[in-house]
């Protein structure tokens, strides 16, 4: 479809209930594809990799392409799809003259999902990888640019824009979104080079690790902070966020990422740790709540799940600092990364997802609040086991730790499966207004 046709279709505004149901269908698509990426290309492959590492008792025999394919599927395929879906849904809440951008939404979904899938298949199978890797990266970038254009065109009319400065939560989200563009553009360049010059479908190790820092700290962490600042006072009853501290935390993150690339790893570790601690203070995460949390239909543990996620953020930063001076075989780095991606990011999505996604997907009610609790508890146990055992095993400090590592993977696989089952079952239920239930 040509650009002129797309914009023509979108000038006939889709508003009101029609916009709501169009956006709900789109969020459902992003949620379902995100869950599928989480289950098979993401977690199952991660478990498979870990079993292989534990069997060989070393990280080096596992193909880097498989490790990178796992990370891609989790970050872009799962968390990225959720972010884009929620991003599109939030457009229905903006006071814009334009209708809901249905065509852009579906073009983004196709380009993004297809791009992540091609990149994953190229890495895993090696089939035509010199074409699939850059093509996948290009499609992801195109999907993102369509999303970006839709968001820009959706800004409220000038007369409705308040003169006040951009709130800190929005600044954190804009920062994360801008960094996503940087990551996707860098990924396209780097994978283009890999396709032309490398002998295997994988990035060189150091550059790969730097890009992991860029995407996790540059995109996921600030985006989570932004949404937390906006919604935790309402959902979890926390006090209003301190905007100044949140802005400083984002600046420290930017400096920490820059230091990673220089590479001044010690300075980077200190900056990221300071940013993490500051964010906890800014978001009032560990302060007493100032009003009751809104827990209808979800687990009563919700506010604690958020607090636990922030504990993992700090643990990850401490391990990162320790890794700078002590790591020999990747065990402490790995534990730090896992604490961040699983403990913080996945822990946060397991808590917030069941709170908001059922409502965004057609005012549904979460299928089971008990399963929500079970998924978070299993994730915490699995993550704790992995983060403790990985340094002991990889750094050759305690040989029995190798036997416990696969157990951690199975517990996390169970957690992920329960989370996905709960959301799939929720989506299979009729919307609340049809089943005469209230959210
Ligand atoms: C749930 C079970 C999971 C298992 C069993 C698992 C396993 C692994 C393994 C074995 C590695 C290789 C490096 C190492 O040994 O430390 C790895 C790397 C990685 N994982 Fe996971 N993981 C899981 C979940 C996740 C999640 C939820 C995310 C993100 C949200 C994630 C993101 C990553 C990233 C970014 C890498 C680094 C990839 C690279 O080096 O390019 N993982 N994971």
Q: What pLDDT was estimated at residue 98?
A: 73
Q: What pLDDT was estimated at residue 100?
A: 85
Q: Please, which residues have CB within 8 angstroms of residue 6's CB and are 6 or more apart in sequence?
A: 103, 104, 107
Q: Please, which residues have CB within 8 angstroms of residue 213's CB and are 6 or more apart in sequence?
A: 257, 260, 268
Distance separating alpha carbons of residues 189 and 259, to the nearest angstrom? 21
pLDDT digits 0-9 by tens, 267-310: 999 999 999 999 999 999 999 999 999 999 999 999 999 999 99
pLDDT digits 0-9 by tens, 73-83: 999 999 999 99
Atom of ligand 1 nearest to the CA of 59: 15
The stretch 196-222 carries a mean pLDDT of: 97
Ligand 1, atom 20, residue with closest C-alpha: 71
SS3 107: helix
CB 316 within 8 A of CB 277: no
pTM for this prediction: 0.94
Q: Please, which residues have CB within 8 angstroms of residue 9's CB and are 6 or more apart in sequence?
A: 102, 103
Ligand 1, atom 16, residue with closest C-alpha: 334
Q: What pLDDT was estimated at residue 156?
A: 67
Pocket test for ligand 1, best of 40, 64, 341 (most atoms within 8 A of CB): 341
More confident residue, 154 or 189: 189
Q: What pLDDT was estimated at residue 158?
A: 56
Q: What pLDDT was estimated at residue 4?
A: 53
Ligand 1, atom 32, residue with closest C-alpha: 71
Distance separating alpha carbons of residues 289 and 278, to the nearest angstrom? 18
Atom of ligand 1 nearest to the CA of 211: 41
Q: What pLDDT was estimated at residue 433?
A: 63
Atom of ligand 1 nearest to the CA of 220: 30
* Model confidence at 161: pLDDT above 60: no
Q: What pLDDT was estimated at residue 159?
A: 53
SS3 190: helix
pLDDT digits 0-9 by tens, 96-108: 667 789 999 999 9
Alpha carbon of 71 to ligand 1 centroid (Å): 5
* Model confidence at 133: pLDDT above 60: yes
Alpha carbon of 67 to ligand 1 centroid (Å): 7
Q: What pLDDT was estimated at residue 28?
A: 96
Q: What pLDDT was estimated at residue 280?
A: 98
* Model confidence at 7: pLDDT above 90: no
pLDDT digits 0-9 by tens, 220-235: 999 999 999 999 999 9
The stretch 202-231 carries a mean pLDDT of: 97
Ligand 1, atom 7, residue with closest C-alpha: 46
Could you give the residue ranges of the DSSP H alpha helices within 12-101?
A: 16-37, 45-56, 64-72, 81-91
Ligand 1, atom 19, residue with closest C-alpha: 71
pLDDT digits 0-9 by tens, 236-272: 999 999 999 999 999 999 999 999 999 999 999 999 9
- pLDDT > 90: what percent of the chain? 84
Q: What pLDDT was estimated at residue 153?
A: 87
Ligand 1 pocket, CB under 6 A: 43, 46-47, 49-50, 53, 59, 67-68, 70-71, 74-75, 79, 208, 212, 334, 337, 341-342, 345-346, 409, 412, 416
* Model confidence at 436: pLDDT above 80: no
Ligand 1, atom 43, residue with closest C-alpha: 46
Distance separating alpha carbons of residues 288 and 324, to the nearest angstrom? 34
- Confidence class for position 5, pLDDT limits 50, 70, 90: low
Q: What pLDDT was estimated at residue 20?
A: 79
Question: Which of 104, 246, 124, 239 has the alpha carbon at shortest distance from 175?
Answer: 246
Q: What pLDDT was estimated at residue 85?
A: 96
Token output for 399: 């040989």
* Model confidence at 122: pLDDT above 60: yes
Q: Please, which residues have CB within 8 angstroms of residue 82's CB and are 6 or more apart in sequence?
A: 30, 31, 34, 349, 353, 357
Terminal CA-CA length for the chain: 39
Alpha carbon of 314 to ligand 1 centroid (Å): 18
pLDDT digits 0-9 by tens, 40-75: 999 999 999 999 999 999 988 899 999 999 999 999
Atom of ligand 1 nearest to the CA of 394: 15
- Confidence class for position 16, pLDDT limits 50, 70, 90: low
* Model confidence at 437: pLDDT above 50: no
Alpha carbon of 28 to ligand 1 centroid (Å): 25
Ligand 1, atom 34, residue with closest C-alpha: 71
Pocket test for ligand 1, best of 46, 200, 203, 380 (most atoms within 8 A of CB): 46
Alpha carbon of 279 to ligand 1 centroid (Å): 24
Ligand 1, atom 36, residue with closest C-alpha: 71
CB 332 within 8 A of CB 319: yes
SS3 93: coil
Alpha carbon of 70 to ligand 1 centroid (Å): 6
In which element (H, E) is residue 418 found? Answer: helix 401-428
């Amino acid at each position: 479809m040509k650009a002129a046709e797309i914009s023509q279709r979108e000038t006939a505004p889709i508003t009101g209930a029609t916009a709501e149901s169009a956006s709900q269908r789109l969020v459902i698509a992003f949620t379902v594809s995100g869950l599928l990426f989480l289950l098979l290309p993401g977690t199952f492959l991660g478990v498979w990799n870990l079993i292989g590492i534990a069997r060989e008792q070393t990280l080096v025999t596992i193909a880097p392409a498989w490790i990178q394919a796992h990370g891609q599927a989790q970050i872009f395929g799962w968390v990225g799809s959720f972010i884009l879906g929620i991003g599109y849904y939030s457009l229905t809440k903006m006071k814009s003259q334009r209708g809901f951008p249905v065509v852009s939404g579906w073009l983004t979904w196709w380009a993004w999902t297809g791009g992540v899938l091609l990149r994953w298949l190229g890495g895993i199978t090696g089939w035509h990888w010199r074409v699939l890797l850059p093509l996948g990266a290009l499609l992801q970038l195109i999907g993102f640019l369509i999303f970006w254009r839709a968001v820009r065109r959706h800004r409220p009319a000038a007369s409705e824009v308040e003169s006040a400065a951009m709130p800190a939560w929005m600044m954190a989200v804009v920062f994360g979104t801008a960094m996503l563009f940087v990551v996707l553009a860098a990924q396209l360049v780097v994978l283009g080079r890999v396709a032309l010059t490398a002998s295997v479908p994988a990035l060189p190790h150091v550059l790969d690790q730097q890009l992991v820092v860029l995407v996790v700290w540059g995109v996921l962490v600030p985006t989570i902070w932004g949404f937390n600042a906006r919604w935790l006072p309402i959902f979890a009853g926390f006090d209003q966020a301190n905007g100044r501290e949140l802005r400083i935390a984002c600046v420290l993150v930017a400096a920490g990422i820059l230091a990673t690339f220089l590479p001044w790893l010690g300075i980077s570790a200190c900056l990221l740790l300071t940013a993490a601690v500051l964010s906890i203070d800014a978001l009032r995460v560990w302060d007493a709540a100032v009003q009751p949390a809104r827990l209808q239909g979800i687990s009563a543990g919700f506010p604690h799940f958020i607090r636990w996620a922030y504990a993992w953020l700090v643990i990850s930063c401490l391990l990162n600092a320790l890794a700078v001076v002590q790591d020999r075989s990747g065990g402490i780095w790995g534990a730090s990364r896992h604490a961040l991606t699983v403990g913080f990011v996945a822990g946060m999505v397991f808590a917030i997802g069941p709170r908001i996604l059922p409502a965004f997907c057609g005012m549904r009610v979460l299928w089971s609040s008990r399963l929500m609790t079970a998924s978070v508890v299993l994730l915490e146990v699995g993550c704790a086991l992995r983060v403790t055992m990985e340094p002991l095993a990889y750094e050759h400090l305690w040989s029995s730790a190798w036997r416990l590592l696969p157990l951690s993977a199975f517990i996390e696989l169970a957690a992920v499966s329960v989370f996905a089952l709960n959301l799939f079952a929720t989506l299979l239920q009729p919307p609340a207004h049809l089943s005469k239930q209230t959210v």
